[in-house]
Amino acid sequence: MAVLIFLCQRCIQLLALPIFVLSFLGLWDPMCKKVFPYVMNKLARSYNVKLHKEKQQLFSNLKDFAGSSGQLSLLEIGSGTGANFQFYPSGCRVTCTDPNPNFKDFLAKSMAENQHLQFENFVVAPAEDLRLVSDGSVDVVVCTLVLCSVSNVTTVLKEVLRILKPGGAFFFMEHVASPRSSWKYFWQQVFDPTWKYLADGCSLTRETWKDLDKANFSEVKLQHINAPLNWTLVRPHIFGYAVK
Ligand SMILES: C[S@@+](CC[C@H](N)C(=O)[O-])C[C@H]1O[C@@H](n2cnc3c(N)ncnc32)[C@H](O)[C@@H]1O
Ligand SMILES: *[C@@H]1O[C@H](CO)[C@@H](O)[C@H](O)[C@H]1NC(C)=O
Ligand SMILES: *[C@@H]1O[C@H](CO)[C@@H](O)[C@H](O)[C@H]1NC(C)=O
Ligand SMILES: *[C@@H]1O[C@H](CO)[C@@H](O)[C@H](O)[C@H]1NC(C)=O
């Protein structure tokens, strides 16, 4: 099986050869970082329609984690175009972080459309290193479709735990690997190396629920669903929250 996967991977990569050449020349990544916000702006809209019910269900739990003042301080990692703002409760204080500064205009537009929130800051930083955010300082951390792209999930979850207040929660909705015995997992592995280039570092094969279980949260509440998306390889999803 491993040999078959290897051969199929090379075939797909051969078809995508121009991309790998551009990448080798150092041209692909900067182009990708510029174009991706436009692509994400389109995709996030359609994603929000298709997963509206699940996002609503997930984020309806946010207010349970507000501090004693009743106001919720929320930090979003990989905030992208700000597709989750509409689901946050009124008065919520929001800090956004993303390593790609090219999202800024889209983010500003989403902020303007969501006057029910109080925006604090947009920090350009990867979630592996949030040193600008102090320990135990936020009620809630949110990420959607981000753990597939970060370079180290374990490091990110450590950072999340560091910045959360005791009793605070990490909310997530992520596409994940299909069960190992499935054909879908076979195809996810075959497309993974090429997909990474096309989708700004996104991996199709992460078993993110395992990282969450190992991350030393006091409680992890999650469910596996098959999201009704166009691309079958990103349909397996987990969503839920983990309490510090
Ligand atoms: C698929 S987009 C999702 C954007 C947004 N969260 C949404 O749900 O529409 C992935 C996002 O993760 C960001 N990202 C990539 N690597 C990251 C990292 N190491 N830390 C934090 N965010 C990262 C990308 O810049 C991009 O905004
Ligand atoms: C998904 O497919 C439908 C119908 O074919 C199409 O209208 C829609 O734009 C597609 N969405 C995305 C994100 O590609
Ligand atoms: C992630 O970082 C940890 C240290 O925090 C390291 O042990 C682990 O090997 C890294 N994982 C990957 C996939 O690089
Ligand atoms: C979880 O906590 C244990 C015991 O304190 C520690 O050894 C381990 O490294 C922690 N795991 C992570 C992923 O931080």
CATH number at residue 86: 3.40.50.150
Q: Total structural domains in the chain?
A: 1
User: How much is the average pLDDT of 27-38?
Assistant: 94
CA of 134 to the centre of ligand 4 (A): 20
The model carries a pTM of: 0.95
Question: pLDDT-based confidence at 28, cuts 50/70/90?
Answer: very high
Q: Is residue 224's pLDDT more than 90?
A: yes
DSSP secondary structure of 176-234: -PPPTTSHHHHHHHHHHHHHHHHTTT--S---HHHHHHHTT-SEEEEEEEE---SSGGG
Backbone φ, ψ for residue 144 (5° rounding): -130, 130
- Which ligand 3 atom is the nearest neighbour of the CA of 158? 5
DSSP code of 71?
A: P
Q: Is residue 70's pLDDT more than 90?
A: no
User: How much is the average pLDDT of 4-10?
Assistant: 95
User: How much is the average pLDDT of 66-71?
Assistant: 88
Q: Out of 147, 155, 216, give the residue to mutate to test ligand 3, the one with the largest number of ligand atoms within 8 Å of its CB.
A: 155
Residue numbers of the domain that contains 60: 2-243
Q: Is residue 69's pLDDT more than 90?
A: no
User: How much is the average pLDDT of 92-118?
Assistant: 97
Query: Residue 212 has what pLDDT?
Result: 98
Q: Convert 127-188 into a string of H (helix), E (strand) and C (coil).
A: CCCCCCCCCCCEEEEEEECCCCCCCCHHHHHHHHHHHEEEEEEEEEEEECCCCCCCHHHHHH
Residue 204 tokens, joined:
């199709």
DSSP code of 16?
A: T
77 lines ligand 1 (CB under 6 A): yes
What residues flank ligand 3, with Cβ below 6 Å? 152, 154-155
Pairing of strands 219-226, 236-243: antiparallel
**76 alpha carbon, closest ligand:** 1
Locus of tokens 């979003």: 76
Query: Residue 67 has what pLDDT?
Result: 85
Q: How many residues belong to the chain?
A: 244
CA of 46 to the centre of ligand 2 (A): 8
Burial environment of residue 37 by CB neighbours within 10 A (0 to 12, 13 to 18, 19 or more): buried
DSSP code of 101?
A: G
Determine the Cα–Cα distance for residues 90 and 72; give it in Å rounded to an integer: 9
